[in-house]
């Protein structure tokens, strides 16, 4: 396949990240291809969030290089959560909407922070983003406390998409949702990938998401990516942690056909 088709949206090489005497990421390399949804799995405390936070420049690194859309990412702390000029949007684990702001104001927050736009235009953009994630214009004046868990995630997603970023980081997007809401959210991510051409890096423990939404899955163990590929390849991996993760008792109970 042509190099340009396979070009990386995110390229990580020989990354080392640690805190004090603890090394969390140890010579880690990873490519996220443009336009793909890459799922990231790993043990609890294994460094998935640290990897994501390092890619967006929030955590300093000890060694290694990171490029996002061909641009080197510095090790500094000076990046906003929406990336330089909207390079990425982020959906953090808790959704984290501002409770004192309405849905509309939450979605407009990155616009206010990064651009100078008229209120009318910002209102138009907010409604367009809400509709994009399956919410109605009527929801715009609600406060976060008036939303269901699924709606909260959708508003957080609309906010992450406010600046039309080419890359989306999702940290356990379906955690806390019932299986139907989780399935709907997965379908939404897939639709956004197709319609907007988004590249998505998604930390998830949700086996259904890994199977149905992710083009490839990467497994993080011992501070490195120990396996990467389509789900069917991960299921064949001989790596002990990957085997334990996908073929352990709990996984088998949930997905008997995966054996």
Stretch that binds ligand ATP, among 37-45, 162-170, 190-198, 221-229 (CB under 6 A): 37-45
Number of Cβ within 10 Å of residue 87's Cβ equals 18
DSSP string, 22-57: EEEEEEEEEEEETT-EEEEEE-TTSSHHHHHHHHTT
48 binds ligand ATP (CB under 6 A): yes
Nearest Cα neighbor of 33 from 66, 53, 61, 4 is 4
Stretch that binds ligand ATP, among 43-51, 97-105, 142-150, 241-249 (CB under 6 A): 43-51
What is the rounded CA–CA span in Å between residue 133 and residue 130? 5
Bridge partner residues of 66 (DSSP): 12
Q: How many residues bind ligand ATP (CB under 6 A)?
A: 10
**Choice from 35, 42, 165, 223 touching ligand ATP (CB under 6 A):** 42
**Choice from 9, 35, 37, 47 touching ligand ATP (CB under 6 A):** 47
Stretch that binds ligand ATP, among 46-54, 115-123, 149-157, 234-242 (CB under 6 A): 46-54
**Choice from 1, 3, 44, 120 touching ligand ATP (CB under 6 A):** 44
Q: What is the DSSP letter of 68?
A: E
Stretch that binds ligand ATP, among 40-48, 105-113, 153-161, 175-183 (CB under 6 A): 40-48
Q: Please identify, using beta-carbon distances, which residue of 19 and 98 lies nearer to ligand ATP.
A: 19
Cα-Cα-Cα-Cα dihedral sign, residues 182, 196, 158, 84: positive
Q: Please identify, using beta-carbon distances, which residue of 43 and 196 lies nearer to ligand ATP.
A: 43
Stretch that binds ligand ATP, among 47-55, 66-74, 161-169, 180-188 (CB under 6 A): 47-55
95 binds ligand ATP (CB under 6 A): no
21 binds ligand ATP (CB under 6 A): no
Q: Are 171 and 203 in contact (CB under 8 A)?
A: yes
* Sheet containing 216-221, strands listed edge to edge, beginning at the edge strand earlier in sequence: 88-91, 167-171, 199-203, 37-42, 216-221, 224-229
Instruction: Tell me the closest approach of the beta carbon of residue 255 to ligand ATP, in angstroms.
Output: 20
Rounded-to-5 percentages of helix, strand, coil across the chain = 40, 25, 35
**Choice from 24, 69, 155, 198 touching ligand ATP (CB under 6 A):** 24
Residues interacting with ligand ATP, by CB under 6 A?
19, 24, 42, 44-50
């Amino acid at each position: 396949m042509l190099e340009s088709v396979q070009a990386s949206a995110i390229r990580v090489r020989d990354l080392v990240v640690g805190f004090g005497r603890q090394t969390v990421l140890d010579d880690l390399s990873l490519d996220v291809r443009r336009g793909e949804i890459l799922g990231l799995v790993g043990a609890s405390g294994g460094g998935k969030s640290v990897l994501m936070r390092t890619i967006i420049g929030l955590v300093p690194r000890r060694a290694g290089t990171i490029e996002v859309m061909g641009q080197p990412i510095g090790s500094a702390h000076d990046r906003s959560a929406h990336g330089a000029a909207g390079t990425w949007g982020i959906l953090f684990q808790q959704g984290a909407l501002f409770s004192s702001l309405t849905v509309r104001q939450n979605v407009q927050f990155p616009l206010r922070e990064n651009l100078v736009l008229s209120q009318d235009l910002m209102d138009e953009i907010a409604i367009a983003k809400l509709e994009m994630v399956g919410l109605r214009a009527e929801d715009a004046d609600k406060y976060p406390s008036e939303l269901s868990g699924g709606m909260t995630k959708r508003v957080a997603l609309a906010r992450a998409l406010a600046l039309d970023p080419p890359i989306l980081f999702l940290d356990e997007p379906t955690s806390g949702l019932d299986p139907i809401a989780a399935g709907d959210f997965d379908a939404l991510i897939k639709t956004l990938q197709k319609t907007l051409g988004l590249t998505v890096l998604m930390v998830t423990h949700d086996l259904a998401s890994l199977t149905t939404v992710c083009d490839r899955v990467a497994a993080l163990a011992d501070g490195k990516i120990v396996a990467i590929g389509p789900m069917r390849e991960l299921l064949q991996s001989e790596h002990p942690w990957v085997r334990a993760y996908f073929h352990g008792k709990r996984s088998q109970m949930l997905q008997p056909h995966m054996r």
